[in-house]
Amino acid sequence: MRVSRLMLVTLRDDPAEAEITSHKLLLRAGYMRRLAPGIFAYLPLLWRVLQKVSAIVREEMAAVDALETLLPQLQPADLWRRSGRWDGYTAGEGIMFHLVDRQERSLGLGPTHEEVVTELASDLLRSYRQLPVCLYQIQTKFRDEIRPRFGLMRGREFIMKDAYSFHADEACLRRTYAAMDGAYRRIFERCGLRAVAVEADSGAIGGSASQEFMVTAEAGEDLILASPDGRYAANQERAVSLPAPPVPLEVSACQPLATPAQKSIEELCTAHGFDPTQTLKVLLLLARFAAAPPRGVLVCLRGDQQLNDVKLANAVTARCPDAGALLEIVPLLADHLCDPVPFGFLGPHLEDPALRQGEARVAAAPMLRLADPSAADLEAFVCGANRSDEHLVGARWGELCPRPEVVDLRAAQPGDRCLHDPSQRLEAARGIEVGHIFQLGRKYSEALEARFTNEAGGEEPLWMGCYGIGVSRLAQAAVEQHHDADGIRWPVAIAPYTVIVVIASSQDPVQVALAEELYERLRVGGCDVLLDDRPERAGVKFKDADLIGIPWRLVVGRAAGERKVELVDRSGDTGKRELAADAAVEQLLGLPGASP
RNA sequence: CGGGAUGUGGCGCAGCUUGGUAGCGCACUUCGUUCGGGACGAAGGGGCCGCAGGUUCGAAUCCUGUCAUCCCGACCA
């Protein structure tokens, strides 16, 4: 391709709309344009990158016997109601774009395809003899993100590879899951990305085991906690660790303590010399559901610990199976209550308060009472007395109130000791989630009655897995990981073009002739090559070549008369060197990806 | 939805405090000189100053409302 015909528009200044480097560079280098928040036009250069990523994905999917398909993006609400996800995905903070058609039928614009693919599987997969099967597609997904940001990192319309596998038993699911794990590692490696696999929360997709693939980068939205020995890595949403041991509380009996206006753990400890690990933190929350009245939640944590919202949401969802989708969990405020409670002085023995909805009292289920092990394991502790300006010192579970149900709710922090080896301490890194694989189990097949006949002749629900890669996000993550002060430095495997032939002086017919010849030879040889034939000064062309990040630059300049050219490695590894034109062509045609 | 910021030619910005009829850099067009790291000179085209209302002889500038975009939290590939 000739640069003069490429519709290349590069910008000198960083666009004001972009915050992080990769977003700025993709805009400046003419790879994309924003149409609306989270909605981008992929310009020809970016489309080539996305195609190259897709090609690698296709090869690796084929290697694990996955079948490419293309599934509908317009999806009937009814299907989503049957899986139980319509309300959660459309009401409240749901992310599904949805609409009503001329027949008054509700439709959603596919944010993911578990429902559609499961419906298809229930239709087509009748016998264990057909299993396992893995289907995948590379397609635009639609998600009405609460806050789109950072360009392709979190778009409302983005390209995703999603795969779904179906199995006769769990062992088979595990094998495919492991094969996908391997395929994913190869995909990211081939794309030139440094990625790490971490344990993850399954989120709205659900299922049991799940693992995320993170491209490590400062601009990443996720916090990764990992052990230095490399044996444990998890998203902070999911991470587990050992909290610091508590300082024992030396008291004989439970006694009240006057604590005027000491509402925070910090104030309490400062005033009376307690260590935060000796205190109990009681949080009052309100969970709202799609199909049930709101329910109060009382959470106990050790005073020095923080609540992990994701763990809490999972715990609440698991304990309210008939309430429909969990819409949100918010702090319980005085406005929600019929009678005041002494916020700041709460203890775990707080009686169920009556909830108010508008002006009406809600006949609420009893509060859900949960305690993190850090709180449940305390022998004796300091907690609120459920009376203003008063705490209890030396309270014990069993004496004060029954010990609540114990569930892991605390947020692991960098510096915490690891479970597998307490001498290791968790270290923090930021990551961009580019892939996520799940063992779904039978969640969708049970809901949508996707059953097969097993070897014994009985019917049972299919076992399922699903496996996603954010293709457009991956492209931007690559820029985030591979750039310098001059612009993008694409890994060769996903660069839009492998080589750019630059004519230093377009006025020199000798240079033009040689450049045209080399361009043609490279093109015919199967190399993805650009020819910068624009009547610009050399400096402009060099700057643009650096900015758009083509891995190899072949400069045809002063030495063209002796058929000598200059070859520059954008990655900076080998620098620039002068060599015979024929040798340069030979070398470039020998590069990976150069032949058709 | 809550908090913060910003809206001025295609892009990046100044002007607003103290109202007087819009400016700079980049980009674009033409001509000339230049020609290996974003050249220089000359000439030129392009702006309902986000939108609506108000104050005023007069509003980009002051007031009110509204919309949009970006950033921080809940969402996730």
The interface predicted TM-score of the complex, written ipTM, equals 0.95
* pLDDT-based confidence at residue A596 (cuts at 50, 70, 90): very low
- Is any atom of strand B within 7 angstroms of residue A110's beta carbon? no
**Is residue A544 within 8 Å of A532, Cβ to Cβ?**
yes
Contact call for residues A224 and A211 (beta carbons, < 8 A): no
Helices A44-63 & A170-190, crossing angle to 10 degrees?
140
Give just the sign of the alpha carbon dihedral A342, A256, A405, A269. positive
Would you state the pLDDT for residue A333? 78
Banded model confidence at residue A594, pLDDT cuts 50, 70, 90:
low
- If we measure between CA atoms, which residue out of A141, A92, A148 comes closest to residue A114? A141
DSSP, collapsed to helix, strand or coil, labels residue A101 as coil
User: Could you tell me which CATH number the domain at A3-73+110-240+428-479 has?
Assistant: 3.30.930.10
Q: What percent of chain A has pLDDT over 70?
A: 97
Distance CA A17, CA A516 (A): 39
User: Whats the size of chain A, residue-wise?
Assistant: 596
- Measured CA to C1', the nucleotide nearest A560 is B36
Specify the nucleotide whose C1' lies closest to residue A544 (CA): B38
CB A478 within 8 A of CB A484: no
Q: What is the mean pLDDT of residues A11-20?
A: 93
Mean pLDDT of the A180-184 span: 98
CA distance A52 to A58: 10
CA–CA distance, A596 with A590 (Å, rounded to integer): 12
pLDDT tens for each residue of A186-229:
999 999 999 999 999 877 666 678 999 999 999 999 999 999 99
Question: Which amino acid, A502?
Answer: V
CATH superfamily of this structure's domain A497-589? Anticodon-binding domain (3.40.50.800)
| Residue carrying the six token digits 């559609």 | A116
Least confident of A330-334, A360-364, A382-386: A360-364
Residue with tokens 């954010």: A470
pLDDT band at A362 (very low <50, low <70, confident <90, very high): low
C-beta atoms surrounding A115 within 10 Å? 25
Q: Which residue is nearest to nucleotide B73 (CA to C1')?
A: A147
pLDDT band at A290 (very low <50, low <70, confident <90, very high): confident
Decide: A47 and A140 in contact? Cβ < 8 Å. no
Band of residue A592 on the pLDDT scale cut at 50, 70, 90: low
CA distance A538 to A233: 48
pLDDT for the residue A314? 87
Is there contact between A83 and strand B, defined as CB under 7 Å from any strand atom?
Answer: no
What is residue A595's predicted lDDT score, i.e. its pLDDT? Answer: 47
At the second CATH level, the architecture of A255-406 is: Alpha-Beta Complex (3.90)
More confident residue, A302 or A341: A302
Place of tokens 């604590």: A259
At A151 the pLDDT is 95
Average pLDDT, chain A: 92
Asked if residue A342 has a cis previous peptide bond (ω within 30° of 0), the answer is no
Given a cut of 90, whether residue A571 has pLDDT beyond it is no
pLDDT above 90 coverage of chain A, percent: 79
- Name the nucleotide with the smallest C1'–CA separation from A536: B35
Q: Which of residues 574-593 of A touch strand B (CB under 7 A)?
A: 576
The mean pLDDT value for A25-31 works out to 97
| Chain B bases having any atom below 7 Å from a protein CB | 1, 11-13, 25-27, 34-39, 68-77
**Over residues A506-517, mean pLDDT:** 96
Q: Determine the angle formed by the axes of helices A44-63 and A471-481, rounding to 10 degrees.
A: 110
Q: What is the pLDDT of residue A360?
A: 67
Confidence of residue A593 (pLDDT cuts 50, 70, 90): low
pLDDT in tens, A399-448: 999 999 999 999 999 999 999 999 999 999 999 999 999 999 999 999 99
- Hunting for tokens 């990305």 — which residue is that? A193
A203 CB inside 7 Å of strand B: yes
Residue A469 predicted with pLDDT over 60: yes
- The whole-number pLDDT of residue A330 equals 83
A29, HSE (Cβ side, Cα atoms, 13 Å): 30
Distance (Å) from CA A289 to C1' B58? Answer: 59
Domain map of chain A by residue range?
Answer: 3-73+110-240+428-479, 255-406, 497-589
Burial class (CB in 10 A: 0-12, 13-18, 19+), A574: exposed
Angle at A244 between CA A422 and CA A236, to 5 degrees: 75
How many Å apart are CA A466 and CA A114, to the nearest integer? 8
A555 touches strand B (CB under 7 A): yes
Please state whether the peptide bond connecting residue A276 to the residue before it is cis, i.e. omega within 30 degrees of 0. no
Q: Can you say whether residue A225 is alpha, beta or left, with left for phi > 0 and alpha for psi between -120 and 50 degrees?
A: beta
- CA quadruple A349, A350, A354, A358: dihedral, nearest 10: -140
Residue A359 banded pLDDT, cuts 50, 70, 90? low
Q: Which of A72-86, A501-515, A535-549, A566-580 shows the lowest per-residue confidence on average (mean pLDDT)?
A: A566-580
Q: What is the pLDDT of residue A384?
A: 94
User: d(Cα A532, Cα A291) in Å, to the nearest integer?
Assistant: 62
Instruction: Calculate the angstrom distance between C1' of B13 and CA of A149.
Output: 24
Question: Is pLDDT larger for residue A67 or for residue A356?
Answer: A67
pLDDT digits (tens, 9 = 90+) for A155-178: 999 999 999 999 999 999 999 999
3-state SS, residue A389:
coil
Q: What is the largest CA-CA distance in chain A?
A: 98
Q: Specify the nucleotide whose C1' lies closest to residue A11 (CA).
A: B11
Lowest mean pLDDT among A132-146, A295-309, A467-481: A295-309
